[in-house]
Amino acid sequence: MAEYLEKDLQDFLMEYGGFSAEENYFEDEITFLEKEFSLENHRRIDILGESRNFVYIIELKRNIIDANALVQVLKYKTAFETFLKPQKKVRCILVAPEIDSNTHNAI
């Protein structure tokens, strides 16, 4: 598997602009709004996205999604909802080439 940095994937996805309803597993189109979105607690969301009904917190991992990544994205979700009080429901997406088997079994 080719080595890449999270930033490379982030730049690629931002250039791509989003996911159409036909190419994703969600009910409508997701538009990528901003990369490195800053939260009040000095955390940064890799990519913030939005669809008609939801806001998406998209966290990118270079190698593997594990329990720490899951906790991290849920902390981002809590902070986003607490500080920004969005009108839409918030969903989280983790992107990586692989998921740890224990984490996969837990979700």
Q: State pLDDT tens for residues 72-81.
A: 999 999 999 9
Q: Does 25 have pLDDT greater than 80?
A: no
- Contact status, residue 18 vs residue 32, Cβ threshold 8 Å: yes
Residue type, 9: L
Q: Does 1 have pLDDT greater than 50?
A: no
In percent, the amount of the chain with pLDDT more than 90 equals 57
CA distances to 45, 60, 69, 83, 96 from 11, rounded to whole Å, are: 14, 11, 20, 26, 15
pTM of the full structure: 0.85
Better pLDDT: 17 or 75: 75
Alpha helices in the chain (DSSP H): 6-16, 67-84, 101-106
Side-chain half-sphere of 87: how many Cα atoms within 13 Å? 4
